[in-house]
Structure 1
Amino acid sequence: MSSSGHTPMRTPLGRVRGLGSAHSGTEHFFLQRVTALANLLLMIAFVGIVICLAGSTYEHARSVIGNPLVAVVLLLTLLSVSIHMRLGMQVVIEDYVHTEGTKVLLIIANTFFTTAIALAGAFAIIKISVGG
């Protein structure tokens, strides 16, 4: 029994899983931390690539991005940053937008925006890496 005198409606398993009203609280929190760690590691490689390309010619930059290892690092960075960005903006929207309809529309727009950014970036990296 809770302090207010009524029995909680959630099962013990629901309380352990940490699922809130959206049924994804712990998973969302965990994924945000995993992408943050991935971003940290991938950004080290990304900054290294940018430093190596600083001051180089366009042809040299294309050849470096054409390297499969470099292209994969760039694609993984783009994927991880995009997921992390979507999750972070979703938290901001959920915390600061109080009108339910507006909140839903903004979360949908956030998902479409981050997906579009990720796809556009992936297209550019793949196009450059295959020599298109």
Structure 2
Amino acid sequence: MAGEKGLRSELGRVRGLGSAKEGVNHWWRQRLTSLALIPLSLWFVGSLVFLTDTDHATAVAWLGSPVTLGLMVLFLGAMFYHAALGLQVVIEDYVSNHGCRKALIVLTNFACFALMVAAVVSLLVIAFGG
């Protein structure tokens, strides 16, 4: 009967298309990082405004505070992770070659991770005077 087969083609039923089970997880991670970035971004911009008229020693002392350093690391981590997730979606949408797509996603994830590590190490050097 036609009603039992539904609207999917024979090939679609065999392949199991439409049930990758990874898109929802990616979508949720993107949304959670964006929610985390709202207060962290407001805090960051407010901090920059506060620090506009301060000298270098005051800014270094401010960054050396455990709360400030922790919030800055959280901000950088969420920002680079959110960027990696967003860039992955762009690559998946616009790069048609499967091998090239995978290579670009790996390269993008590596670059975002390397930039995050470099930023956190820089913060630690500034905060602890290394």
Cα 1:123/1:30, change in 2 over 3 Å: same
Alpha-carbon shift at residue 131 of structure 1 (Å): 2.9
Structure 2 distance, partners of 1:19, 1:125, is 42
Aligned partner letter, 2:7: S
Aligned to 1:2: 6
Which of 120, 124, 127 is equivalent to 1:129?
Answer: 127
Q: What TM-score comes out, normalization by structure 1 length?
A: 0.85
Q: Which has the higher helix share?
A: 2
CA offsets per residue over residues 20-67 of structure 1, 9 Å max, x none? 2xx411100000000000011110111111111112111111011001
Which residue is 1:106 aligned to? Answer: 104
Aligned-pair distance for 1:4?
Answer: 3.9
The count of residues paired between Structure 1 and Structure 2 equals 125
Distance 1:19 1:117, change over 3 A: farther
Query: 1:10, 1:58 → 2: CA distance?
Result: 61
Q: Please, which runs of 5 or more residues in structure 2 have no aligned partner?
A: none
Q: Rg: which structure is higher?
A: 2
Deviation of 1:128 (Å): 1.8
* Residue 66 (structure 2) pairs with residue 59 (structure 1): no
Identity %, equivalent residues: 31
Q: Give the aligned residue type for 1:36.
A: S
| Equivalent residue number for residue 69 of structure 2 | 71
- Counterpart for residue 85 of structure 2: 87
Quote the RMSD (CA, aligned, Å). Answer: 2.0
Q: What CA distance in whole angstroms lies between the structure 2 residues aligned with 1:107 and 1:47?
A: 30
Cα distance, 1:19 vs. partner?
A: 4.5
